[in-house]
Chain A
Amino acid sequence: MSRSATASSQPLPGAYVFRIYIAGGQPNSVRALANLYTLCRQHFPESHRIEVIDILKEPMRALAEAILVTPTVVKVSPAPEQQMIGNLNDENEVLRALGLPRTKTS
């Protein structure tokens, strides 16, 4: 199951594409999803796409894509691919992993 979060279904060139693996409505998964939406809205409001995979619904994908923990967020593009594990509460780590400047608000 995946859904696009951008207005247009076509990702723009240079757009940020994320894949997030969640486990149904588990608290960490819900939090991760919320954090990811916030991040995308803040940093790339016009050019991002989020693919959400619910492991509880597609469990075989966890093995096929070597996903051990939920939530796991994968930055698919721009290259290189970057894997982040956890609920994205640690914003500084998230920004550092993505190579983004610190937000003024934090």
Chain B
Amino acid sequence: MIVKKRARIVEKISTGIEGFDDITGGGLPRGRTTLIMGGPGCGKTVLVLQALVNAATRHGVPGIFVSFEENAELVEENAESFGWDMVELQKKLLYFLNAQLTPDAVKVGEFDLTALLAGLEAKATEMGAKLVVFDALDVLLSLLDDWAAERRELYRIQAWLKRTGLTGILTTKTEEDKSPTAPRYGFMPFMADAVVVLRQRVIDRVAVREMRLVKYRGSPHVLNEVPFVIGEDGVEVGASNGIHPEPQPFKMRVSTGIDRLDGMLEGGIYRGTNVLITGSAGTGKSMLSGLFLEAACRRGERALFVSFDENSRDIVRDLSSVGVRLAPHLKSGLLHIEAVRTEAASSEEHLIRIKRLIREHKPACIAVDPFSALVKVGGELAARNVAERLIYLCRNERITAFLTSLIEGTDVTLETTPLHISTLADSWLQLSYSLHGGERNRALTIIKSRGSKHSNQMRELIFSDSGITLTDPYTAGGEVLMGTLRIEKENAVRTLAERKRHEVDHKRREVELILAARDLRLAGTQRDLLDCSEELDTLARAEMTITSEGTQRQDAVVRKRDNELVKEQANGAKPAGGKPRKRSKAAGKQP
């Protein structure tokens, strides 16, 4: 069997920089040379410094930083500002070399970099360094007379790196405006195994940083330009390639904060999923977001409200007008409201900020309102990328998210989202205005909800002092009734019911009356019956008395007579009582 030998893939050193290891497929090529190019202020130094610091702190890999331009102390200070403990690191794992020539050094002929390289080699051996950074190599090269000399020295560095087996990272400045015509710009990428170009652009007056992996010998890599930011923790690259791990969806349901909406969704939304709420201005997206978070806080969960272009106080006030009370939860610390100015940063920076908030506040529920504000800055493509990554982040962190999206215009049939994230969203609620009968009524439709059956009916959304709710659906002629029409319908239904109730009431009273009358009559009859039987008794008694008196009188006469005769006479007198006669006194009161 012939086994095809796979090409050896370059061994890599992880930089530990979020996103950067993704686009490079694992980091920088081990034992090779990487070149970082970019204009001034692009973040070259921070990037390489971070790679060095991460290698040292996370993997215990010692490294050397050679600074040709900036004073090493400044670089250290810069590093400290990102929270990297340079003092501790420099005890063992990091070595900083100030490699600036004294300014009054005079050039008196040809020279080369042997001294520096020999010194570094000795140092690297001494401390066991695996990584070496040459920061601002262009400054060093500019000391050389001609480009042939530059080329020669670059070869020298390359050969040196190869021989020592060190992983080299070189940075060099490129002029923003000028095309890279200087020979070194052409030659340096050629000699390097991996080349990263950093760029800073201004889109809509917002500065955006981007990087592109121009070349990576012997390794698959992402060629696209990807955004990156320099945040408080250093560089973060906005890479969204590759497959994101999908956590097992929660089986638990979470309330949306509106009972009736939960009902429409079979008991709420799944925990850890996201809900996209789209709608034009004023349809109630913020209200729904607020309500959702209030419900979360009432369950004792931590919640985060990221609001673009509206400050915290206004949000609390606006929501309290519809009965959503956020203030107590803000006070208790369960809820955090972060008001963000859209134009203050690029969408990438916003994401970093939201990420940090999530890390710090650890919310179970989050609302970003409006999520579509991200589009306003830094271009749509970048924003979409950011949106995607935020959704993935929430999913991975199992945070239930409400993301709102503003739809411009009032076309209710418009069901597209500016970020095209509707396919990513787990549930999608559409808020709209229904224009009918000269009215504008808020309406809510569930467009989709993954993994649950849901009502397909449009409902009217009612905001009142006492809260937010959805009405019962009233349909007429194939249309859902809203506003006045709904109220009319409701009234009509109510009137009808009222009338029915009246009718029944009336009937009941009538029947009761009849019943009472009959009872009365029945009682009379019974009394008559009783009277009759009593009279009958009296009569019987009277008869008995008469009979016995007669008998006594005859006794004296008959005593002397035959016993049998006496008996016959007494028996014959007894059955003379007769039947009781009926009286018809109360017969005139028949109904």
Contacts and interface: CB of A to CB of B under 8 A. Distances in A.
Mostly, the B contact residues are mixed
A53 to B, nearest CB: 9
Contacts of A59: 118-119, 121-123
A28 B112 contact: yes
Contact of B108 (A60, A63, A66, A86): A86
A19 to B, nearest CB: 13
A85 B119 contact: no
Contacts, number: 113
Given A55-B118, A59-B121, A67-B119, A86 B107 contact: yes
Nearest to A23: B114
B102 interface: yes
Given A59-B122, A63-B97, A85-B101, A69 B108 contact: no
Interface string B91-110: 00000011101101111111
A89 interface: yes
A35 B115 CA distance: 19
B345 interface: no
Given A69-B113, A83-B102, A62 B108 contact: no
A29 B99 CA distance: 20
A87 B105 contact: no
A96 B104 CA distance: 13
Nearest to B113: A69
Given A32-B109, A89-B108, A69 B118 contact: no
Given A66-B98, A86-B109, A90-B109, A26 B104 contact: no
Given A68-B99, A68-B113, A68-B140, A23 B118 contact: yes
B120 interface: yes
Given A63-B120, A66-B98, A72 B115 contact: yes
B102 A62 contact: no
B187 interface: no
Contacts of B106: 82-85, 93-94, 96-97
A66 B105 CA distance: 12
A66 B118 CA distance: 12
Contacts of B113: 68-70
B539 interface: no
Nearest to A73: B108
A95 to B, nearest CB: 10
A62 B112 contact: no
B154 to A, nearest CB: 14
B122 A68 contact: no
A89 B109 contact: yes
A88 interface: yes
Interface residues of B, number: 27
Contacts of A23: 112, 114-115, 118
B335 to A, nearest CB: 55
Interface in B497-521: none
Contacts of A72: 111, 115
B116 interface: yes
Interface string A37-65: 00000000000000000011001111100
A21 interface: yes
A62 B116 contact: yes
Given A59-B121, A59-B122, A87 B115 contact: no
B142 to A, nearest CB: 13
Given A26-B114, A56-B114, A63-B97, A84 B105 contact: yes
Interface residues of A, number: 36
A94 B113 CA distance: 20
A62 B105 contact: no
A82 B104 contact: yes
Contacts of B120: 63
Given A59-B121, A68-B140, A83-B105, A28 B115 contact: no
Nearest to B95: A63
A61 B118 CA distance: 10
Nearest to A86: B109
A46 B101 CA distance: 32
Given A59-B122, A83-B104, A69 B116 contact: yes
Contacts of A87: 108-111
A88 B105 CA distance: 13
Contacts of B119: 55, 59-63, 67
Contacts of A62: 115-116, 118-119
A57 to B, nearest CB: 9
Contacts of B97: 63
B112 A26 contact: yes
Contacts of A85: 101, 105-108, 111, 143
Contacts of A67: 115-116, 119
B108 A84 contact: yes
Contacts of A35: 109
B128 to A, nearest CB: 15
Contacts of A28: 109-112
A41 B190 CA distance: 46
Interface string B456-474: 0000000000000000000
A30 to B, nearest CB: 12
B98 A90 contact: no
A56 B122 CA distance: 10
Nearest to B99: A68
A69 B102 CA distance: 12
B4 to A, nearest CB: 46
A21 B271 CA distance: 70
B114 A70 contact: yes
Contacts of A26: 112, 114
A63 B118 CA distance: 9
A79 to B, nearest CB: 13
A90 B108 contact: yes
A60 B105 contact: no
Interface of A: 21, 23, 26, 28-29, 31-32, 35, 55-56, 59-63, 66-73, 82-90, 93-94, 96-97
5 contacts: A56-B114, A68-B113, A85-B107, A85-B108, A97-B106
Given A62-B116, A86-B109, 6 more contacts: A55-B119, A62-B118, A62-B119, A69-B112, A85-B105, A90-B107
The 5 A-B pairs with the shortest beta carbon distances in the complex, nearest first, are A86-B109, A62-B119, A59-B122, A23-B114, A89-B109
